[in-house]
Structure 1
Amino acid sequence: MMDLVDLSHPLDPERMSIPPGLPQLISCPIATVPKDGFSMHTVSFGSHTGTHIDAPSHFIADGKSIDQISLSALVGVALVLDFTHKGPKEVITWVDITQSPHADKIEPGIILLLHTGWSKYWAATGQIYWDHPYLSLDVAEQLIARGVSVIGVDCASPDRSLLEPPWDFPFHRSFLGHGGLIVENLTALGELQRPKVMVNLLPINLVGCDGAPVRGIAWK
């Protein structure tokens, strides 16, 4: 039996973090077994709801949409780097990356997962979930130069808090602008006991969309 770790938050309308002003998750029953003989729901959500992938078209006008991205880039070996020592709104620089244990394993084609521990604040009251650590622009540039095209974080964004200006999103624009893919709102990265693991981060195939939810899994 395979020992799997679920890297995605449940899509629960009653317990999740969604930035103010963005579409809320709505799941409504339209048929029930006692009444209709079968159960069915209508579901409505934004393309960047819960654990999800940002396609290049999220910020790049002519960038690839979710249905155009390479599936092979999202299934493979991932390298997990630990940044749980970083505090609220603290920056993670390329120097921090290089000084992290196992940074020497960053190589072309690897999926890089940054463990900040911030997923523990998912659905918390207040704005603590949005006060996550973030990545400096040089991290995006250096990763692209090294052939890394997929990065995942266990917080809301690799850029500064979504709730505070400036809303220029330099990491997004650089990484997505070079054809990279960003996975946000991951969870359970602390359960991965080895620095290198196999992961599957495939999104729903939403044609023409700039992002899509992911049911991410890892093999321990």
Structure 2
Amino acid sequence: MRVIDLSQPLHESMPVYPGTPAPDFSTVATVAANGYQVKKIAMNTHVGTHMDAPAHMLADGKTLDALPLERFVGRAAVLDVRNCAGGVIGLGELQGQKELLAQVDFVLFWTGWSRYWGQEQYLQQYPLLTAAAAAWLGKCQLKGVGIDAISFDAIDSKDFAIHQLLLAQELVLIENLTRLEEVQSGGDFFAMPLPLREADGSPVRAFASQADHADLL
């Protein structure tokens, strides 16, 4: 079995959503001074590869701790949307995959944008779902939707319309994924949030597992 890490590493100089603070790492104790090492981490709930709960945008939305653990695990389809015209992921791209999407729990959009991680381009003009595509996804009996970009809405969005449409269907949203090109559709996907109380979101360790050639012999 092959396990593929789909998470961006957390560190102080990592990219963050504009206007939000970067993680702060400080040393509380060292082996030299205390005989053990401990670090203190201060960060918001939507940093790095992370999950949005419905409560992130909806006043009456569920928090992550209100969802059963199995909501964060399932079969995934990776949709290659790198060549979508104008960076728009429309209804046509999804309806053509209707049969595949009926067999999975998560849809992961491979936009190719993770190649810009750490660059200014990462925060600009990344591919986006149309409102019609987001509304259609909400009817597909999915557990969640993921993307290798910083957000499901434009960086200057004020109403976060795509978040609203997806979260209203009680989907969890996973942002800032990476290495989606290595994941085969139909593999197992895991995105495990921290066990935080009343969590509107959480950093996740996202990964996929799939059988390699040796396992099939």
Q: Map of 1:172-191 to 2, 5 A cutoff?
A: 172-191=163-182
Give distance in 1, aligned partners of 2:71 and 2:169. 14
Name the SS for the 2:123 alignment partner. Answer: helix
**Structure 2 stretches of 5 or more lacking a match?**
211-217
Letter of the structure 2 residue corresponding to residue 96 of structure 1:
E
TM-score when normalising by structure 2: 0.91
Report deviation, 1:109.
Answer: 5.5
Q: Secondary structure at the match of 1:202?
A: strand
User: Does 1:95 pair with 2:89?
Assistant: no
Checking the alignment, whether the CA contact within 8 Å between 1:143 and 1:149 is kept in structure 2 is: no
Cα distance in structure 1, aligned partners of 2:112 and 2:98: 18
Q: Tell me the equivalent position of 2:11.
A: 12
2:130 aligned to which of 128, 136, 148? 136
Contact 1:108 1:147 in 2 (8 A): no
CA distance in 1, matches of 2:194, 2:130: 29
| Partners of 1:108 and 1:56 in 2: CA distance | 23
1:94 maps to a residue whose letter is L
1:197 counterpart = 2:166:
no
Residue number among 141, 145, 148 corresponding to 1:151 in the alignment: 145
Identical positions, percent = 33
The residue number in structure 1 matching 2:72 is: 74
Which of 190, 203, 209 aligns to 2:199? It is 209
Matched AA of 2:176: N
Kept in 2: contact 1:134–1:159 (CA 8 A): yes
Q: What is aligned with 1:48?
A: 46
Q: Which runs of 5+ in 1 are unaligned?
A: none
Note the C-alpha offset of 1:103: 4.5
Runs of 4+, deviation exceeding 3 Å = 127-130
Corresponding position of 2:2: 3
Residue type of the partner of 2:186? K
Shift of 1:131: 2.2
Q: Is the 8 A contact 2:189 2:206 kept in 1?
A: yes
Deviation at 1:25, TM superposition (A): 0.5
Whole-Å separation in 2 of the counterparts to 1:24 and 1:68? 27
User: How many matched pairs?
Assistant: 210
1:16-55 deviation per Cα after TM superposition (whole angstroms, max 9, x unaligned): 2102221210111111001110000110011000000000
Match of 1:59 in 2: 57
Letter in 1 for 2:133: V
Q: Deviations over 1:174-205 (max 9, x none)?
A: 1111211100000010111x221101111111
Q: Could you say which residue in structure 1 is the equivalent of 2:81?
A: 83
Aligned letter for 1:205?
P
Residue type of the alignment partner of 1:171: I
